[in-house]
Amino acid sequence: MGNVRPAGKRLYFAKVRAPIGGRPEKIRNFHAYMRQTLKHIGLIVLGLATGAAATLAFSQASAQSATTPLPLEQLRLLAEVFGQIKREYVQPVDDKKLLTAAIKGMVSSLDPHSSYLDKEEYKELQEQTRGRFAGLGIEISQEDGLVKVITPIEDSPAFKAGLKPGDLITRIDDKPVRGMTLDQAVKRMRGAPGSKVTLTIYRKSDERTFPVSIVRAEIRVQSVKGKLLEPGIAYVRITSFQERTVPDLAKKLQELSKDQPVKGLILDLRNNGGGILQSAVGVSAAFVQNGATVVTTNGQIEDAKQKYTATFDNYRLSASPDDPLKGEAPIWKTVPMVVLVNAYSASASEIVAGALQDSKRALIMGKTTFGKGSVQTVRQLSPDTALRLTTAYYYTPSGRSIQSIGIKPDVPVDQNPKGDPDDVLVTREIDYQNHLHNTQTPDEQKEIDARETRRLEELRRLEEENAKKTPEERKKESQERLPDLGSADDFMLQQAVHQLKGEPVQRTKSRLEANAGPLPKDAKAAPAATPAAGAKTDPKTDTVVPAKPTDKK
């Protein structure tokens, strides 16, 4: 493995453009213009290869860029298409717009997580990792073509305006939401602090539509929350992996162990779509033994071959000499522990879950995770743009890749005590057409086919059950809402408490979870020395995993 990355170099998990010159001022004939355009396109392609590599300080970058010839035939074809569009398209098209679209298409064709970030997208990524942005303060997703409120962030403008989980946004400043992408809706709801936006809300529970005017403000997302569920049982929820996550976690753990002895810990990673790799390493380091392997990465370039251990240098994100975990209470390294995951636990969440499972430090409970086993490096191309490129696969301490497969829970548990019928509709990494294949699973297509067969069987069963219900029963079910994560009525959390206390646990009713068998008698949430605390995950077994992580506005 290569050396540890210097502090400040961030690797991201997926909830950077060189300036392209304009058209020559004078073009005496089309062929001269196309010759100049072809030359310029070649420089753009070369710039993407060398500029990003230089920023990453890859030792092999210069040699590779010098010896890799440009695909001139394909560049000529691109220039020809460019010329056809300029000559024959029904209306004039801006050169920069065309070439930017070509770059975006080139990068996005690689895999679902590589992308070219324009000014707005790059700014949004920076805001997400810092945990600060100007907007309304709501977590959202899409439902039936509308924007659905997952939850308002506590003390945010949306929270103070009375928005509730489950509310549907139908209009943003009189612009219909139907037909917008989630990103387009995000851009409309964000804005300068102090500016106003009017949302039209449909509230299912009241069967009414009403307008809400909200004044935007700077939102500071608290990625770590925690409390004592009952004497001796601590609960910590991490919503994303940001720059402040490890220091905030250290502070929260200190608070929880200050007044009384902790006998059990529940770490909640549900709906956590990921974030910064170093933050995931730091969170893992809070619970595993010092120096233990957390994750390894491997890619084409030597610098992508890394081993991250539970040491400060591996999760340092600034020049600060102070380790936020220094002085951590020893109890957090040994206390019996359960980690909650679901289909929306992705990327950095899966790194933490995999590290704690492989080290037999914690028992994983919930649903199979998303299955994103790759690392993205974000490199600035200009002051306002960047390239987010998949540069490595990552592997859990035992050497397994979870790419397209996910982390299988040791104890599969539903979020709903009646079962989770919506599991059949969940989209996961393996469902993307251009997803990266798991190199440890040569027969991946068989896994995809087997999963689809199970899904269709489950759909047919649910349709048969639904046909037997009365209209009143269907209406009642459609109005039911699951309790908030971490609340007293959170069923999966209740099962985690049962697990810690040695009480019976109600396992999943989902037929999509391949490992949903009886709980072994010796399975228990236990410290690192207890073998039963974490079972191995079979990378050849496929199960259900996620939809797009929620966005924050």
Indicate whether 105 pLDDT > 80. Answer: yes
**If you average pLDDT over residues 55-72, what whole number do you get?**
48
- What pairing do the DSSP bridges indicate for beta strands 115-117 and 386-395? antiparallel
CA atoms within 13 A on the CB side of 179: 4
Task: State the pLDDT at residue 228.
Answer: 97
Residue 413 backbone class (left: φ over 0; alpha: ψ -120 to 50; beta: rest): beta
Q: Which pLDDT band holds residue 67 (cuts at 50, 70, 90)?
A: low
Farthest CA pair distance, the chain: 83
Residue 342 lies in a domain: yes
Domain end among 173, 204, 220: 220
Task: State the pLDDT at residue 8.
Answer: 43
- Do 418 and 398 fall into the same domain? yes
**If you average pLDDT over residues 417-445, what whole number do you get?**
81
- Do 324 and 209 fall into the same domain? no
C-beta neighbour count of 68 within 10 angstroms = 10
Give the CA distances from residue 437 to residues 124, 299, 304, 350, 405, in Å, rounded to whole numbers and listed in that order.
29, 14, 18, 17, 10
Check if 401 is active-site: no
73 token code pair: 């035939």
Q: What is the pLDDT of residues 14-58, one digit of tens each?
A: 442 222 223 333 333 333 433 343 333 322 222 222 222 222 222
- What pairing do the DSSP bridges indicate for beta strands 386-395 and 293-298? antiparallel
Residue 7 lies in a domain: no
- Do 239 and 188 fall into the same domain? no
- Do 262 and 211 fall into the same domain? no
Per DSSP, 332 falls in state G
- Do 425 and 535 fall into the same domain? yes
- Do 268 and 215 fall into the same domain? no
**If you average pLDDT over residues 402-417, what whole number do you get?**
94
Residue 54 lies in a domain: yes
Q: What is the pLDDT of residues 443-478, one digit of tens each?
A: 777 777 777 787 788 888 888 888 888 888 877 776
Residue 127 lies in a domain: no
Indicate whether 379 pLDDT > 80. Answer: yes
Q: Among the ranges 377-386, 470-479, 516-525, which has the highest mean pLDDT value?
A: 377-386
How far apart, in whole angstroms, are the C-alpha atoms of residue 310 and residue 295? 9
- Do 94 and 200 fall into the same domain? no
How many DSSP H helices and E strands does the chain contain? 13, 21
Domain end among 220, 235, 253: 220
| Cβ–Cβ under 8 Å, residues 337 and 364 | no
- What pairing do the DSSP bridges indicate for beta strands 374-380 and 363-366? unpaired
- Nearest Cα to Cα of residue 5 among 324, 392, 284, 399: 392
Check if 187 is active-site: no
Positive/negative CA dihedral, 44, 45, 51, 52: positive
Residue 3 lies in a domain: no
Residue 49 lies in a domain: yes
User: How would you class 230 by CB atoms within 10 Å of its CB: exposed for 0-12, middle for 13-18, buried for 19 or more?
Assistant: exposed
Residue 90 lies in a domain: yes
How far apart, in whole angstroms, are the C-alpha atoms of residue 503 and residue 512? 25
How far apart, in whole angstroms, are the C-alpha atoms of residue 272 and residue 32? 53
- Do 188 and 151 fall into the same domain? yes
- Nearest Cα to Cα of residue 378 among 8, 59, 110, 21: 8
Give the CA distances from residue 3 to residues 310, 313, 320, in Å, rounded to whole numbers and listed in that order.
14, 11, 20
- Do 234 and 214 fall into the same domain? no
249 token code pair: 């976690």
Contact partners, residue 248, CB within 8 Å, separation at least 6 = 222, 223, 224
Find the domain containing 423 and state its range: 224-547
Beta bridge mates, 246: none
Per DSSP, 119 falls in state H
How far apart, in whole angstroms, are the C-alpha atoms of residue 387 and residue 352? 26
- Do 53 and 76 fall into the same domain? yes
Q: Which three-class secondary structure state does DSSP give residue 459?
A: helix
- Nearest Cα to Cα of residue 295 among 305, 54, 303, 256: 305
How far apart, in whole angstroms, are the C-alpha atoms of residue 522 and residue 537? 17
- What pairing do the DSSP bridges indicate for beta strands 411-412 and 363-366? parallel
- Which one is catalytic: 15, 252, 372, 552? 372
| Cβ–Cβ under 8 Å, residues 486 and 272 | no
Indicate whether 368 pLDDT > 60. Answer: yes
Q: What is the pLDDT of residues 197-231, one digit of tens each?
A: 999 999 987 788 999 999 999 887 789 999 999 99
How far apart, in whole angstroms, are the C-alpha atoms of residue 394 and residue 403? 8
Q: Rounded to 5 degrees, what are φ and ψ at 529?
A: -80, -5
- Do 193 and 236 fall into the same domain? no
- Which one is catalytic: 156, 257, 347, 374? 347
292 token code pair: 């233990």
Domain end among 220, 244, 275: 220
Positive/negative CA dihedral, 179, 181, 186, 191: negative
112 token code pair: 């679902």
User: How would you class 263 by CB atoms within 10 Å of its CB: exposed for 0-12, middle for 13-18, buried for 19 or more?
Assistant: middle
| Cβ–Cβ under 8 Å, residues 505 and 499 | yes
- Do 322 and 350 fall into the same domain? yes
Indicate whether 95 pLDDT > 80. Answer: yes
Number of separate domains in the chain? 3
Per DSSP, 431 falls in state G
- What pairing do the DSSP bridges indicate for beta strands 363-366 and 337-341? parallel
- Structure-model confidence comparison of residues 304 and 320, the more confident one: 304
Residue 198 lies in a domain: yes
| Cβ–Cβ under 8 Å, residues 182 and 141 | yes
Check if 509 is active-site: no
- Which one is catalytic: 248, 323, 358, 490? 358
